[in-house]
């Protein structure tokens, strides 16, 4: 029988490698044996941390639970599951997020334009229209509707546009209404950007400070990481 | 416990939304707590006329589908001290996204907190109309002196009579004095008699309505216009006052007034 499970020591704890060449049943069987042996060898009350490395295999939530049930008790804990592979779906999403999506169009009332990652829109967002991205949003044209950056909660995202019209900007869970009726808030003719500051308050910044405030923007390599 | 009033017409473009915004504002000016509910899901306008479009964060469908609490979706009009509120419609859904039971529950909640809940009904007699009248206690029927609008109004009265709502009250909107005086359109008495419902008020055609709506300010805020006076009278009648109907007679401008009076 091939070795389906290997135990290795690491500075932070133990690494359990589940070999992808073995069937899941074999893995489960050998893991049970291993755990029994380990529990015998370990002093009572001694805490052990495990990192499970699944190699070229992706475990479903069900299978993860099976593994956890075998290993975990009050002293044995699994810290994380690691894998050398990702699902096609995840890979495609990462690839999409790695480069900004370019759209040339008008987003009309009631329409929603969505993007994974950053979005560059050349065109207009009419009142009642929505542009939404998990990353940042850059608008070249008139923004009069809603721009929602960091749609899945990324508060480091920004919205860059000319904010001289009534509009609404959302970043993560924060909402900011851009109102021109307010005479104190004279809108600039220039392109500005909106970001969430350290106090979790939305703020409008001049383009000069973009590099200081969000140095990571524009540094996407095009690779996965 | 407040009162829910639906503003409806059957035909489109006769001024339901404008009337809802102005009557609501006029009631708020009379220190009543008012909530306007836009039911025109998919083609919302009430927020635009009130100048609140860019303040919308959640809408009625978010509330119904549990993504937001009712109080989160309601927008306060900053021009009034806690008097006028708006529950906006969704723009990317359609009229079937909500049903009658959900409306009854929603409006029931609102009636606890507000003196008046004005429901802006969409044109037509489909699901949107059914939703709008499902939760209403009273109805305001808006028509214009045009025969097509009156036909549709008649049909709406028939539909409303089949429900538990009291007989609707009539607003005749966009009256052109000169045409009515010349007898080119049905006059106020004829329309009221033809539809055999109680007349709530008349609004004269006034360019200022469009002008001020475009700026996001309901015309009723400025008392100097004929249309504004009409809406203020309607609000007072809704509150139980007796207010005489405005006169149809065109003010004859004297020669001297024509010469020197055109300062405004």
Q: Is the ipTM of this complex over 0.85?
A: no
How many CB atoms are closer than 10 A to CB A94?
15
Check CB contact under 8 Å for B42 and A166: no
Does A164 or A184 have the greater pLDDT score?
Answer: A164
Q: CB-based contacts of B27: which residues, under 8 Å, 6+ apart?
A: B34, B115, B116, B118, B235, B238, B239
> For testing the chain A interface, which of B91, B93, B216 should be mutated: the one with the most A CBs within 10 Å?
B91
- Asked if residues A5 and A17 have their Cβ atoms less than 8 Å apart, the reply is yes
Check CB contact under 8 Å for A128 and B53: yes
Return d(Cα A54, Cα A20) in angstroms, integer. 7
Residue A225 pLDDT > 50 = no
Work out the percent of chain A whose per-residue pLDDT is above 90: 33
Residue B237's H or E segment, with its range, is helix B226-238
How many CB atoms are closer than 10 A to CB A161?
25
Q: Is the dihedral of CA A82, A87, A91, A94 positive or negative?
A: negative
How many CB atoms are closer than 10 A to CB B73?
21
Buried b (16+ CB within 10 A) or exposed e, B102-125: bbeebbeebbeebbbbbbbbbbeb
> For testing the chain B interface, which of A108, A110, A159, A181 should be mutated: the one with the most B CBs within 10 Å?
A110
User: Residue B48: its chain A contacts at CB < 8 A?
Assistant: 127
* 3-class SS of residue B238: helix
**Residue B51 is labelled as binding a ligand:** no
- Asked if residues B4 and B110 have their Cβ atoms less than 8 Å apart, the reply is yes
| For range A186-211, the mean pLDDT | 86
Chain B contact present for A179, CB below 8 A: yes
> For testing the chain A interface, which of B54, B59, B215 should be mutated: the one with the most A CBs within 10 Å?
B54
Residue A76 pLDDT > 50 = yes
Q: CB-based contacts of A197: which residues, under 8 Å, 6+ apart?
A: A203
Return d(Cα B230, Cα A60) in angstroms, integer. 68
Task: Calculate the alpha carbon distances from A219 to A99, A194, A211, A215, B153 in Å.
Answer: 10, 19, 11, 8, 62
Q: CB-based contacts of B251: which residues, under 8 Å, 6+ apart?
A: none
Residue B197's pLDDT is 93
Chain B contact present for A106, CB below 8 A: no
If interface means Cβ-Cβ distance under 8 Å, which residues of chain B face chain A? 42, 44, 48, 51, 53-57, 91-92
Q: Is the dihedral of CA B204, B207, B208, B213 positive or negative?
A: positive
Closest CA to B160 of B183, B137, B191, B177: B137
Residue A223 pLDDT > 50 = no
Check CB contact under 8 Å for A179 and B54: yes
DSSP state of B64: H
* 3-class SS of residue B192: helix
Chain B contact present for A112, CB below 8 A: yes
User: Residue B88: its chain A contacts at CB < 8 A?
Assistant: none
Q: What is the pLDDT of residues A97-146, one digit of tens each?
A: 778 899 999 999 889 999 988 999 999 999 989 999 999 999 999 999 99
User: Residue B49: its chain A contacts at CB < 8 A?
Assistant: none
Residue A91's pLDDT is 87
Residue A37's pLDDT is 86
DSSP state of A125: B
Return d(Cα A166, Cα A127) in angstroms, integer. 8
Task: Calculate the alpha carbon distances from B165 to A85, B5, B12, B136, B158 in Å.
Answer: 64, 10, 22, 7, 11
Q: Is the dihedral of CA A85, A87, A93, A95 positive or negative?
A: positive
Closest CA to B61 of B8, B106, B28: B106
- Asked if residues B26 and B235 have their Cβ atoms less than 8 Å apart, the reply is yes
- Report residue B203: phi and psi, to 5°: -125, 125
Residue A187's pLDDT is 60
Pick the CATH number of B3-242 from 3.40.50.300, 3.40.50.720, 3.80.30.20, 3.30.70.1450: 3.40.50.300
Work out the percent of chain A whose per-residue pLDDT is above 70: 92
Chain B contact present for A111, CB below 8 A: yes
Return d(Cα B222, Cα B239) in angstroms, integer. 20
Residue B14's pLDDT is 95
Chain B contact present for A185, CB below 8 A: no
In this complex, the residue of B48, B56, B92 whose CB is nearest that of residue A110 is: B92
Task: Calculate how close chain B gets to A101, using CA atoms only, in Å.
Answer: 23
Check CB contact under 8 Å for A168 and B91: no
Chain B contact present for A173, CB below 8 A: no
Along the 264 residues of chain B, how does pLDDT read in single tens digits? 899 999 999 899 999 999 999 999 999 999 999 999 999 999 999 999 999 999 999 999 999 999 999 999 999 998 888 899 999 999 988 889 999 999 999 999 999 999 999 999 999 999 999 999 999 999 999 999 999 999 999 999 999 999 999 889 999 999 999 999 899 999 999 999 989 999 999 999 999 999 999 999 999 999 999 999 999 999 999 999 999 988 877 666 667 666 776 554
Q: Is the dihedral of CA B165, B146, B204, B50 positive or negative?
A: positive
Residue A224's pLDDT is 45
Return d(Cα B62, Cα B196) in angstroms, integer. 40
DSSP state of B7: E
Confidence bin at A94 (pLDDT 50/70/90): confident
């Amino acid at each position: 029988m091939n070795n389906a499970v290997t135990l290795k020591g690491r500075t932070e704890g133990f690494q359990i490698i589940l070999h992808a060449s073995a069937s899941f049943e074999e893995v489960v069987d050998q893991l049970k044996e291993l755990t029994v042996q380990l529990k015998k060898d370990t002093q009572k009350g001694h805490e052990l941390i495990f990192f499970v490395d699944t190699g070229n295999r992706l475990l479903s939530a069900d299978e993860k639970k099976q593994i956890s049930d075998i290993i975990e008790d009050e002293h044995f804990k699994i810290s994380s599951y690691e894998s050398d592979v990702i699902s096609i779906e995840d890979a495609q999403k990462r690839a999409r997020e790695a480069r900004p999506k370019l759209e040339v169009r008008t987003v009309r009332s009631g329409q929603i334009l969505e993007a994974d990652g950053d979005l560059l829109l050349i065109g207009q967002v009419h009142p009642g229209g929505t542009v939404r991205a998990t990353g940042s949003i850059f608008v070249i044209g008139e923004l009069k509707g809603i721009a929602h950056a960091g749609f899945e909660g990324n508060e480091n995202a920004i919205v860059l546009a000319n904010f001289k019209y009534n509009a609404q900007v959302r970043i993560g869970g924060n909402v900011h209404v851009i109102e021109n009726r307010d005479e104190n808030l004279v809108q600039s003719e220039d392109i500005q950007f909106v970001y969430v500051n350290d106090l979790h308050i939305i703020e409008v910044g001049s383009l000069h400070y973009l590099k200081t405030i969000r140095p990571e923007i524009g540094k996407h390599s095009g690779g996965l990481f | 416990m407040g009162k829910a009033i639906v503003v409806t017409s059957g035909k489109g473009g006769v001024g339901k939304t404008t009337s809802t915004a102005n009557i609501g504002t006029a009631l708020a000016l009379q220190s009543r707590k008012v909530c306007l509910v836009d039911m025109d899901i998919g083609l919302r306008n009430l927020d635009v006329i009130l100048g609140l479009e860019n303040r919308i964060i959640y809408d009625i469908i978010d509330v119904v589908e549990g993504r937001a609490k009712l109080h989160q979706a309601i927008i306060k009009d900053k021009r009034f001290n806690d008097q006028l509120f708006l529950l906006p419609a969704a723009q990317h859904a359609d009229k079937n996204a909500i049903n009658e039971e959900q409306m009854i529950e929603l409006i029931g909640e609102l009636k606890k907190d507000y003196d008046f809940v004005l429901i802006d009904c969409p044109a037509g007699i489909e699901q949107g109309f059914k939703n709008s009248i499902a939760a209403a206690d009273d109805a305001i029927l808006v028509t214009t002196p045009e025969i097509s609008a009156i036909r549709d109004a008649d049909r709406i009265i028939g539909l409303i009579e089949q429900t538990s709502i009291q007989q609707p009250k009539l607003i005749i909107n966009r009256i052109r004095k000169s045409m009515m005086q010349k007898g080119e359109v049905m006059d106020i008495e004829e329309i009221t008699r033809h539809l055999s419902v109680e007349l709530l008020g008349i609004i004269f055609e006034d360019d200022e309505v469009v002008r001020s709506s475009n700026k996001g300010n309901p015309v009723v805020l400025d008392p100097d216009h004929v249309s504004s006076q009409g809406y203020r009278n309607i609000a007072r009648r809704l509150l139980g006052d007796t207010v005489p109907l405005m006169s149809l007679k065109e003010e004859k401008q004297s020669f001297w007034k024509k010469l020197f009076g055109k300062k405004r």
